[in-house]
Amino acid sequence: MSKPTGVESVRDWQFAVPIALIGLGSGVALWLLTTLLSRSTISGNGWSLAGNGSLIVPFGLGPAIVAAGWTAIILRMRGHPRWLQLGFASGLIALVLVLGSALSLVAFGPGHRDAGATGALLFGFLLYGWLLACSIVAVLIPAPDPARKDIPSWSIVAIVLLPATLIAGCEAGTTFLPT
């Protein structure tokens, strides 16, 4: 067997496994946080994190985790030396969009509920747009892009595993804290 060229190697399954575990653990944590918030009385004038308001956790923080992971995986696959830092930065951008969505409801208050809901939707669309855009940006950022002999299959597997195990972790969370 010849020695693989570039960053991708036969042993990169050792990178895909921790990605899957991070997805699974994050999913369980998101489920637990969602359930705890849904049972809480955290609310303000015109907004609430109780009940359905807690859904901002899986539908906001979930995409933020995926954006961070996808960016990091793509940049690592391309041999970028700061793949971890840039992945973290991508997740922070997504987190700012989640906070913008929540804060628009609080800032406009109950007197301007339509404007607050419109702001929340705008930030929500921007968040899901960033989920796509972060992958495109990760591909466009200058990186060494080492020559490869084969398809970077383990990186592709890691890209698929992250959201799949995140969803599975949310489902597994029901065993720890049922609804």
pLDDT one-digit tens code per residue, 65-106: 999 999 999 999 999 999 999 999 999 999 999 999 999 988
User: Residue 2: which pLDDT band, with cuts at 50, 70 and 90?
Assistant: very low
Report pLDDT for 89: 98
Section 140-148 average pLDDT: 90
Tell whether 19 is covered by a domain.
no
pTM: 0.89
Range of the domain at 81: 28-39+46-176
Q: What is the pLDDT of residue 4?
A: 40
Domain membership of residue 108 (yes or no) is: yes
- 172 domain-assigned: yes
Is 134 inside any structural domain?
Answer: yes
* Ordered DSSP codes for 8-51: --GGGHHHHHHHHHHHHHHHHHHHHHHHHHHTS--EETTEESSG
Q: Domain total for the chain?
A: 1
Query: For residue 116, what are its two tokens?
Result: 């607050």
